[in-house]
Chain A
């Protein structure tokens, strides 16, 4: 039987990506200029995670 992670460990990255996404969604809504740019950066992170994980698939 291989190793088993705790649920806390499994959901850790999920929570971080969730927080970053929500920040990105709201940043552009409540501000312009720099807030739009921060939103683009934040919302790129989940998309880059998908690209990265698919790229280095085992």
Chain B
């Protein structure tokens, strides 16, 4: 409701109410997100300090990889009660994990991971997945230990956060019409100081908050979005096998990986998912590959291999919504520009904590000096300056 480019009092009140209520609902969740997010930024650096890791053997460049089928054989012999679920390649170190699971759709904590040296093929260590402190903090951050419902709830909180930022930016203008940008009145009463701090830090970190909030919403939707893709992709893949007996022997993993690498030249392998009745296809290996440029290294492409013959069924990029999700992921984590970017991310995170605490303070101290009266005063100024006076409020 803008009249000739001017904002009316009614509109400002509406924005203010939206800002107040969306903020109030999501503040507790956001504080938790900020506090758990802070150590998560440095998880790659912290994890080796928290848990002992056996290092991989140093080898000259160009040393070929060890045999994957042999690693899986070792894993099966060591954990005969479990079945191989997937093989994953470490991002930073020459290590390969064979992930063993008791069921087809396990919880993270049920999976046991056998870590092998990528070049020597030697088993380095066995560790449970999702049991470490880092994994617990991540689980709290992502889904407050509630699984998919928690993930969706956090997504909703991220939507409220983005709404609070937008409405906050809209009330910022009318509130700041008599102040220089970034004024912090130290001499004033505490409430006014907190108000100035809330405005300054909030408006300066606005873009960062919007990006992290919006990518938080995207991340929260990743489970349902991948579910949509699976539901659209898998039935057509499995259809030709109806009525045919299950394969007695699975094709070589090394050969399947070689086949995937040939189908997607220039890409690096990320993981191999074993045939799985519940999560993927009971008839195929899913070989996930990624590019090696800054953007394409975020984009995963699946090569789907017939698990009986080892032949390529299809190797096609993911649909646009999953590509958008994958490219936007780093914008939530801040892990895409080295240590300086991580430190910057942590400082923005702390700035957001300041915005949350100051906002909470402003709300809790409202009885002493209702912000509504301040709003009325400002709206009055607004009306004088825009000439749209509807109600007469005494200027204080």
Interface residues of A (CB under 8 A from B): 1-5, 7, 10-14, 17-18, 21-22, 25, 28-32, 35-36, 39-40, 43-44, 46-47, 49-50, 52-54, 57-58
* Min distance, Cβ A8 to any Cβ of chain B, angstroms: 9
**Residue on B nearest A2 in the bound complex, by CB:** B178
Which residues of chain B in 171-185 are interfacial with respect to chain A, using CB atoms and an 8 Å cutoff? Answer: 172-174, 176-178, 181-185
What would be 15 A-B contacts, judged by CB atoms less than 8 Å apart? Answer: A2-B178, A4-B384, A5-B177, A7-B7, A7-B173, A10-B181, A14-B181, A14-B203, A17-B207, A29-B331, A31-B294, A43-B341, A52-B182, A53-B183, A58-B183
B-side interface residues, number (CB < 8 Å): 44
Q: With the chains together, A49 CA to B351 CA distance in Å? A: 12
| Interface core residue of B181, B183, B201, B295 (most chain A CB under 10 Å) | B181
Q: With the chains together, A54 CA to B172 CA distance in Å? A: 18
Is B173 touching A54 in the complex (CB atoms < 8 A)?
A: no
Is B344 touching A14 in the complex (CB atoms < 8 A)?
A: no
Is B177 touching A58 in the complex (CB atoms < 8 A)?
A: no
Is B337 touching A36 in the complex (CB atoms < 8 A)?
A: yes
Is A7 touching B205 in the complex (CB atoms < 8 A)?
A: no
Q: With the chains together, A4 CA to B207 CA distance in Å? A: 26
Known contacts being A39-B341, A58-B183, is A25 close to B331, with CB within 8 Å? Answer: yes
Is B178 touching A3 in the complex (CB atoms < 8 A)?
A: yes
* Min distance, Cβ A28 to any Cβ of chain B, angstroms: 3
Is A46 touching B177 in the complex (CB atoms < 8 A)?
A: no
Which residues of chain B in 324-372 are interfacial with respect to chain A, using CB atoms and an 8 Å cutoff? Answer: 327, 330-331, 336-338, 340-341, 344, 347-348, 351
Is B184 touching A21 in the complex (CB atoms < 8 A)?
A: no
Note all chain A residues with C-beta closer than 8 A to B178: 2-5
Q: With the chains together, A2 CA to B378 CA distance in Å? A: 12
Q: With the chains together, A11 CA to B384 CA distance in Å? A: 20
Is B177 touching A4 in the complex (CB atoms < 8 A)?
A: yes
Is B204 touching A40 in the complex (CB atoms < 8 A)?
A: no
Q: Which of B169, B200, B203, B381 contacts A54 (CB 8 A)?
A: B200
Is B206 touching A18 in the complex (CB atoms < 8 A)?
A: yes
Residue-wise interface mask of B (20-53) relative to A, using a CB-CB cutoff of 8 A (1 in contact, 0 not)? 0000000000000000000000000000000000
> B309 at interface (Cβ–Cβ under 8 A)?
no
Note all chain A residues with C-beta closer than 8 A to B295: 29-30
Note all chain B residues with C-beta closer than 8 A to A31: 294
Known contacts being A17-B204, A46-B204, A57-B186, is A30 close to B294, with CB within 8 Å? Answer: yes
Known contacts being A14-B203, A54-B197, is A25 close to B208, with CB within 8 Å? Answer: yes
Note all chain B residues with C-beta closer than 8 A to A58: 183-187
Known contacts being A13-B181, A36-B341, A43-B341, is A29 close to B336, with CB within 8 Å? Answer: yes
Known pairs A18-B206, A46-B204, A57-B185 / 14 extra A-B pairs, C-beta < 8 Å: A5-B177, A11-B173, A14-B206, A21-B206, A25-B331, A35-B294, A43-B348, A46-B208, A47-B348, A50-B200, A50-B205, A50-B351, A53-B200, A57-B183
